[in-house]
């Protein structure tokens, strides 16, 4: 995922948490705010595991999101990993992410 599509500043994360709509699944939670551009942030707590595990979870979540980006509506997305994400496979993370996005109706309508 390109750096231009990432949320990095703490203020942006706080804005999405404060103003956004949220939904949760066993492996992750999603907060979303409408915006003119498509950007995403990924948060993994130290409770999930040590740095190697947290970075692996973030890499997998970023890749799941990158593949879904062309189908998504513009907005600011923040995904927060939950404890079971440390043992989850890539396919399980992708499934949870897709279900969250469907629940929030964030896929563009097919033409």
Task: Map out the domains of the chain with their CATH numbers.
Answer: 3-103 (3.30.230.10)
pLDDT above 70 covers a percentage of the chain that reads 97
- The mean pLDDT of the chain is 93
Question: Does the reported pTM lie above 0.85?
Answer: yes
Residue 111 has pLDDT above 60, yes or no: no
Residue 110 has pLDDT above 70, yes or no: no
- Averaged over 78-100, what is the pLDDT? 95
Residue 63 has pLDDT above 80, yes or no: yes
H/E run at residue 18? helix 10-19
φ/ψ region of 89 (left if φ > 0, alpha if ψ in -120 to 50, else beta) reads: beta
Which pLDDT value is given to residue 109? Answer: 79
Which pLDDT value is given to residue 3? Answer: 81
């Amino acid at each position: 995922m390109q750096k231009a599509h990432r949320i990095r500043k703490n203020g942006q994360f706080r804005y999405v948490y404060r103003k956004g709509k949220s939904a949760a699944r066993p492996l992750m939670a999603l907060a979303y705010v409408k915006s003119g551009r498509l950007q995403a942030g990924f948060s993994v707590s130290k409770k999930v595991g040590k740095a190697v595990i947290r970075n692996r979870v973030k890499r997998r979540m970023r890749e799941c999101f990158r593949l879904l980006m062309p189908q998504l509506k513009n907005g600011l997305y923040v995904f927060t990993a939950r404890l079971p994400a440390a043992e989850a496979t890539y396919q399980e993370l992708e499934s949870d992410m897709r279900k969250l996005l469907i629940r929030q109706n964030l896929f563009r309508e097919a033409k």
